[in-house]
Structure 1
Amino acid sequence: MISFAYYCLIFTILFIKIPIFKAQSSLPTQQLSFSSRFLDSVLQDYAFRPFSRRRPRTGVVYDGNVPSNLTGATVSALRLRTGSLRKRGFHGYKEFDIPKGILENPYVERVILVYHNLGNLSSLYYPLPGYLFLSPVVGLLAYNAMDLTAKGLPELDLRASENPILVTFKTLGILPNGVSPKCVFFDLFGGVAFDHVMNGSVCSSVTQGHFGIVVEEITPPPVAPPPRVTEDPIAGGRGGGGNGGRKKGWWVGGSVAGGVLLAAVVGVLVMWVRWYRGTKRIGRMKDAAEGGVPLTVAAVGRAKVPMALGTRTKPILETEYVS
């Protein structure tokens, strides 16, 4: 028999696990909340929901509700026969005027045109650095209307074969002075294209996607730096002189080295002159000694020594000067 403690244990486990599962299931939505393609899939689901609660009528616009984390965005859906869309088009679907001659690929009998208006979430899902949005980003995507409860449907390739699709924005932000507005187009593959604005608030396109009107951000001109004062380089320092200081330092160092080398050369030259003069003087003394009167050599014992000759000048006594 199962005890009461066992039931309490099972109840505790279930009570703890259920919130964890809910938190894990909401995690992918938070991680992908800023993906424009994931947003398209979510809005397709919410745009289709009004069709499942009533008998849908062809050619009637149904507004859908969006989840709380997408507050500020709106979504709508319009179901049409492809033949009627091709022959007549559809004018006045929110900001869009769809001309006749629209072709879809692959071919389907009925098509649902889903409308997006991202409102204040425009720059969050479609960031455009360097530009400011004057209008919300609006979108028009086509889906197969065979299954009105389907989720995650792929978009049809919707194209205009005669006249372009016109997007008329009803309200625009304040236009800064000196700038011109531009139409911006976001395709389903991450591409961005710009075009001129017609009649102040109208954009055109031959295919589906998301549209808006933007202006370039005005950045203040760069402040000119103050004029630089030329300064002599600080002795022993590495800054303050720039390239001129380094060149001047090299010039001073080269001058000092050249002076030292010149002094060494002069010193060597002076020593060589002194040595040359001394050698010449010694040579002259030797020549004079060799050219004088030779001394008589006499034998003294076993050695021979020079001996002076007799006095050649007769000495004169002092008494002889007296007459």
Structure 2
Amino acid sequence: MITSFDGLCGIGDLAARAGVTVKTVRFYSDRGLLPEASRSAGGHRRYGSDALDRLRLIRSLRALGLSVPEVRRVLEEEDAAGGEGGREGGALEDAVAGRLRELGSEMRALRWREAALRLVQECPPGQRAERLNLIGAVSMPPSTEPLVRFWRGWLPPRMPARSVRAFLEVAVPRPPEDPAPAQVLAFAHLNALTLAPCPGTARPQPEAHRAAGARGAAVLYSGLAEAYELAGVQMRRGRDPRPGEALDGFVDAYTSAYGMRDSPEFRRRLAGQLAADPRIDRYWDLVTEVVTEPGRRPEPTPGSAHDWLYAALVAQTGAPPPPAV
């Protein structure tokens, strides 16, 4: 750095050496990031020999996207450590980790926005208005909160929070990081489905909610989750619905919730009850589209596993009887 006889340099010299404008140097000085060593008799700023390195560090941190407060914390830590830097768990590490999280979210939003744009670009002109309305209701990156609220309103009231969380983990799909246009469309439809008003005052509930109660429902859904996993193994192998361990676990979930014993008669009644229960097939169909990459075989969902198990129950018991009135 070019310095005067007193070892100090002016703001213009410092700016030229750092490759920035005088306005930039003044900005950082006014915010206390770049302390002045003194002022000349004419009131001009003067900087010490370490100012150039400090200014370059500030520029590097700002280039990484760190905010001025974050830069301040890093510099204060550097000063306290005698300029050694690199302290584990320090301000720099925290700031970089935070910025990486922000960038991950921003990049995910951009990937969703790109897929949404392709969805609009590739669709027939007559469908664009509808698709724009669907997409406009979805945040980028998408939020699953509408889906969570949908299921919280459907599950039995006063069901234990832990059981609710476990159910939501399998019922609410995680939006893909890098979606195809078809996955964006499926999620937009799913979002619209969960936001649509229900006829009457509440969503139709399955008979199991009334018969089992809140505590029994927790037992029911825990057992169903295990049965769905077993059914998923069979489905991935391409096997048709059939009696076996998965179906036994499915029936056991209901007997445990109701406090009853398994029997052929119970299975026939259960088949009839499930036939009369309200269905949310459209939800599970859309979930399959959201989580399945184009060209890949669809993964089992709780909805498709339930259908497989119900079909196995019907095959074992015969046609379900008409619902009781």
Q: Is TM more than 0.5 here?
A: no
**Higher Cα Rg: structure 1 or 2?**
1
TM-score by length of 2: 0.18
Q: Higher helix share goes to which structure?
A: 2
Q: Higher strand share goes to which structure?
A: 1
Larger RCO (alpha carbons 8 Å, 6+ apart) = 2
TM-score by length of 1: 0.18
